[in-house]
DNA sequence: TGGCTCATGTAATCTGTTACATGATTCT
DNA sequence: AGAATCATGTAACAGATTACATGAGCCA
């Protein structure tokens, strides 16, 4: 019970790799985890404070040239906390697809609306797919010096595989809808 | 701003179809939406109270034989609130895959652990897939009297498509891992 | 000079979970 | 008789978002 939040682990996961500022962490989450994770500044900065109080990170004010920054470093205690979580095989995957929820309840509103929604979803997926495919190709070119690259690649491939599945579903869904006479 | 929660819409979506009790709604969510939505009793009963205060639902104590029940009915106002949401094409899909998050950060812990995690995920998916495939086949047999059936079928097919993608990814991931020498 | 991004943080509030509490009925 | 399920609800708290607040540096 109690500690079910995982923002702290996500942050420690990044800090385990290299020291970062809160701002960096936010950007990194948005670029590398956005397919399956999210986090706002509000949660990141407050979580960093908590982690510091718990002794899992330490901070240093680093004035990079002229700009003031606060860089966070993981401690040994933080590493072992992270590792305990990583060694635990259980995982709770939570999905909240508002798209699917609306689709589920839209039957009585007609096929046109359903079609429109599927097309909107399809467009969003198609617009995001190239970026994910690009990061896969980038990661494939890096030869595995860094033991993390392989795992980054695996998660990126997960994105590609699921996005392709979404598009196949869109195709099938449109066909099915069109096969019904109005 | 403010009203971003969607539990209320999910509930109204069901009540739009037929009057139900809170307990019924919980079960219905667990069986029909569990692939892309969730909700606890705590959220359902409190949301029902809020919906009643807002005039979107009314309740009646119906003593079904001997058991006391409270059945909720959607109002006209509730229908129009639901419809406004359904007609809005925007949708926020939020995913929190703890599996992927752990995978992403586990690179330094070795391939064995990564393999174990993928296998655990694969087993979970394989155990759930038959149920989804069964509901697709059930829905395909119902000829479209009810205009909702088609949309139920589409969401169920979404589940099948994504689950198959997960399994393909598992296969590819295992191969990739094994292709690397320890 | 004005707008954008960098950078950090807080307060209010929302949304939902978990655990608890209660008690009846049905099944075995 | 005992266990499981039906059925409703509340209180405490967890976890995160949004909006606000502030200010500096960079680019055009």
pLDDT tens-digit profile, chain A (182 residues): 345 679 999 999 999 999 999 999 999 999 999 999 999 999 999 999 999 999 999 999 987 667 789 999 999 999 999 999 999 999 999 999 999 999 999 999 999 999 999 999 999 999 999 999 999 999 999 866 678 899 999 999 999 999 999 999 999 999 999 987 56
Residue B115 in contact with partner chain A when CB distance is under 8 A = no
* Count of other CB atoms within 10 angstroms of residue B182: 7
Inter-residue contact A6 to A81 (CB < 8 Å): no
- Å separating the CA of residue B45 from the C1' of nucleotide D9: 7
Structure tokens at B28: 């219905």
Contact criterion met (CB below 8 Å) for B96 and A7: no
Question: What are the residues facing A20 on neighbouring strands?
Answer: A72
Give the whole-angstrom CA distance, residue B115 versus residue A177: 40
Contact A161 B177 (CB under 8 A): no
Number of alpha carbons in the 13 Å side-chain half-sphere of residue A136: 13
What values do phi and psi take at B58, rounded to 5? -125, 155
Cβ distance of A89 and B121 shorter than 8 Å: no
Separation in Å: D23 C1' and A61 CA:
17
Chain B hits for A172, Cβ within 8 Å = 157, 161
Q: What is the pTM of this model?
A: 0.93
Q: Which residue has the tokens 């992270």?
A: A82
Rounded Cα gap, residues B122 and B116, in angstroms: 10
Q: Which residue is nearest to nucleotide C12 (CA to C1')?
A: B2
SS3 A16: coil
Query: What chain A residue is nearest to B152 in terms of C-alpha separation?
Result: A104
Which two three-digit tokens encode residue B55? 């005039």
Mean pLDDT in chain B?
93
| Residue B132 Cα distances to B58, B123, B136, B139, angstroms | 33, 15, 6, 11
Q: Give the CA B63 to C1' C25 distance in Å.
A: 13
Residue B137 CA to residue B156 CA, distance in Å, equals 10
Tell me if A106 and B151 make a contact (CB, 8 A cut-off).
yes
């Amino acid at each position: 019970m109690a500690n079910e939040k995982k923002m702290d682990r996500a942050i420690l996961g990044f800090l385990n790799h290299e020291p970062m500022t809160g701002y960096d962490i936010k950007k990194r989450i948005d670029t590398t985890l956005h397919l399956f994770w999210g986090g706002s500044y509000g949660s990141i900065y407050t979580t960093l404070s908590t982690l510091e109080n718990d002794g899992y990170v330490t901070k240093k004010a680093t004035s990079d040239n002229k700009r003031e920054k606060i860089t966070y470093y993981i401690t040994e205690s933080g590493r072992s906390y992270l590792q305990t979580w990583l060694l635990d095989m259980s995982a709770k995957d939570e999905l909240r697809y508002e798209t699917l929820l609306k689709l589920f309840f839209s039957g009585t509103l007609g096929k046109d609306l359903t079609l429109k929604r599927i097309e909107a979803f399809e467009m969003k997926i198609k617009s995001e797919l190239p970026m994910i495919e690009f990061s896969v190709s980038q990661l494939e070119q890096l030869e595995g010096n860094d033991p993390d690259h392989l795992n980054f690649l695996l998660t990126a491939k997960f994105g590609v595989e699921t996005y392709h599945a979404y598009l196949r579903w869109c195709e099938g869904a449109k066909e099915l809808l069109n096969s019904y006479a109005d």
